[in-house]
Every structure is written in structure tokens, then in C-alpha cells.
Amino acid sequence: MRKRAKVLSLAIAIVVALTVIAGCASPTPTTTTQPTTTPPPQPTTPTPTQPTATTPAYAIHDPAVRFKIATTTSLYDTGLWYYLEPLFEEKYNVEMDILYAGTGIALEYGRRGDVDAVIVHDPAAEDKFIQEGYGINRRHFAFNYFLIAGPPSDPAGIKDMLPEDAFKKIYEGGMKNPDAVKFVSRGDNSGTHSKEKLIWKTAGFTYDTGILDSGPWYIEAGKGMGPTLIMANELQAYTLCDISTFLAFKGKNPDMELESLVEKGDIFLNIYAAMAINPEKVTTAKIEMANNLINWLLSAEVQKIIRAYGVAEYGRSLFHPISDATTMEGFPAINTSPAQYQK
């Protein structure tokens, strides 16, 4: 019995010793599954605050509702709309989607109901858009001028001519020596392209039969103003451009050799208009917010911004506020009255 007890005591001692040793040793790693990640809770849409005297009911912010506009490429290339957009969003507590395109495409966005307002600069196309019933409440809010840019060598000899005479010289030079004299057109149904066609007509040419396909000297870029300037610079060609985009683009691209050769001429006047999309034609159009935009562009606050925009960087304003035109003799009829829903 005594021997059996000793054996049992020894066995217990061994077990205790092994247990202590095991507790001191590093545990054997085991394969574990990765913890399941619980996605963070989705933010809830804040409850809109009640409108105040300075916040109209229709301006209450709703992230699910967006206000969309189509605007010309010159307002994009110069950066003006990048400056104005956050100011408008903050004032009216609204989210904006902006599509940048030539006037023809911008108006097509309006016809399709893709936008609630358009900002364009082609009076004839605007008139048609209004006659079709899509555009209402057209108001002019800014203007600038076009110019003819070209290589410093000026192979056609157009410097300081009137626009119509310059186009004639470019045509003659291009027909005689297309390797030396070239013209790059936007060719995109934009406001700039429409102005170019008007100058050709005033110069005595029929655009479709006299200029298009007249020779390798005449090149259609089919692009916006920035890419057109780049192409004209690479080809050392002439092109028509609004002065705002030309100054801004040349300022940001010091290697661009093109110079402004022709700036004077009544036909160069370029007026920007804002229009609301008619909700009776496009049922989704947000007429109240569109009118907010139009009236805001005509406000003293924004007219002052337009007047100063570009002065510090380029030494001259890139755009003129339409309020400055009211004292200009011979300026065409413009509409700057407050926008309202007109059937």
C-alpha cells in the first residue's frame, strides 16, 4: 500500500510539474478566422431646418435634388464659373451640376431636359431655342469681345485690320499658299463657331460652299476653345477666339506663341445670356432655382465680381458686367430685368 501511494504521489507531482511548464511556455499558434467587419452606420439625411426670412422654402438643401446647368466653354476655360459656383451654392443652399459645352450642345442639353438652365452666347441659336418653347426668361449678364489670333510672323498680313477684311486676306493667302497660311475653326456649332460663320458671311463668303472643303488651309478642330488654340499654335495658324479665353490660356501656357492680331470691330461683340428651361416643356425643370441663378448673376454683388475678375492676374478684366453696357452708345438691346416665370 505504501509503495502504491508513493507511485501515485509521484504521478501527481509529474502532472503538476508538466502543467506548470506548459503554462510558462508560449502557446501554440492556432488558425483563426478574420473577424467580420461591421460596416459603419450610414449617415442619415439631416432634418431640414425651417426656412427663415433669408432662406426661401425652395432653397432648403436636399442632397437628393440637384440643380443642373449647361454653360459655355469660355466660362470653364477662364475659371470664372469655378469662382462663382461655390458662392451660389452657399447662398441658396443647393448642390449644382455643371456641364461645360459649346452653345449648340448646351442648348441640346436643355431640349433633352438634362439641365435646368443654360448660359450661352449665340443670339440666333438662343432665339430659335426660345421660339421652340424650351427657353424662357433670357437675361444678358456679361459681355466680352472676340479677336483673331495668329502666329507672330502673320503670313497673311492681317494685323490691325477689320475682322471682315482680315478673313478675306486669310482666305486669299490660304488658297494661294496653304502651307504658309492656315485657319483652325472650332467647327463644333458653338457660339464662337457661329460668330466665325457670321464674319465669313459679312466678308462676302457663303460658308457651306465657299469656305468648308475649300482647301487644306481651312481646318475644323471639332473641339473646345482650349484644344483649338493648342492646335492653331502647333500649326502656326489663325483662329477666332474670345479675348477672355485667349488671355487666360496664354497666361497659363507661356510656350504658346500665338498673338492677338485683330481686336477692333463691332462684329466682335460677344454677349452672354442666361436662360431658364421652360417647365411647361420640360416638366422636371426647376424654374424657381433657375430664376434665382439668373437674378443672382444680375445682382450688384456678382456684377462687381465679373468686373474685377482677371484684373489682378492679367491686368485687365476678362469679362465686362452687363451693367457697364447700359451707358455704352450703340450697344444692342439687352434684357436685364428681373427674371420671372413667363409662359
Q: Where are the domains of the chain?
A: 61-144+271-327, 145-268
Taking the C-alpha atoms of residue 240 and residue 148, their distance in angstroms, rounded to an integer, is 5
Write out the chain's pLDDT in tens, 343 residues: 433 333 333 333 433 333 433 333 333 333 333 333 333 333 222 233 222 223 333 334 454 468 999 999 888 889 999 899 999 999 999 999 999 998 999 999 999 999 999 999 999 999 999 999 999 999 999 999 999 999 999 999 999 999 999 999 999 999 999 999 999 999 999 999 999 999 999 999 999 999 999 999 999 999 989 999 999 999 999 999 999 999 999 988 989 999 999 999 999 999 999 999 999 999 999 999 999 999 999 999 999 999 999 999 988 899 999 999 977 777 888 899 999 887 5
Phi and psi at residue 126, in whole multiples of 5°? -65, -45
Assigned C-alpha cell, 331: 450697344
* CATH of region 61-144+271-327: 3.40.190.10
CB 221 within 8 A of CB 231: yes
Alpha helices in the chain (DSSP H): 2-24, 73-77, 80-92, 103-112, 123-131, 163-176, 191-202, 225-235, 243-252, 287-297, 300-308, 311-314
With the CA atoms of 242, 248, 251 and 256 taken in that order, what torsion angle do they form, in degrees rounded to the nearest 10? -40
What SS3 state is found at 76? Answer: helix
Residue 23 CA, distance from chain mean position: 71
pLDDT value of residue 28: 36
pLDDT value of residue 343: 59
Phi and psi at residue 49, in whole multiples of 5°? -80, 155
Taking the C-alpha atoms of residue 80 and residue 260, their distance in angstroms, rounded to an integer, is 21
Taking the C-alpha atoms of residue 48 and residue 44, their distance in angstroms, rounded to an integer, is 12
Taking the C-alpha atoms of residue 93 and residue 89, their distance in angstroms, rounded to an integer, is 5
Fold: same for 61-144+271-327 and 145-268: yes
User: 473641339: which residue's cell?
Assistant: 223
- Pick from 336, 339, 341, 343: nearest CA to 140: 336
- What would be the CATH architecture of the domain defined by 145-268? 3-Layer(aba) Sandwich (3.40)
Burial 236-261 (b: 16+ CB within 10 A, else e): bbbbbbbbbbbbbbbeeeeebebeeb
Taking the C-alpha atoms of residue 297 and residue 154, their distance in angstroms, rounded to an integer, is 39
Q: How many CB atoms lie within 10 A of CB 214?
A: 15
The amino acid at 114: D
pLDDT value of residue 332: 86
Contacts of 220 (CB under 8 A, 6+ apart): 184, 185, 186, 187, 212
pLDDT value of residue 16: 36
pLDDT value of residue 142: 96
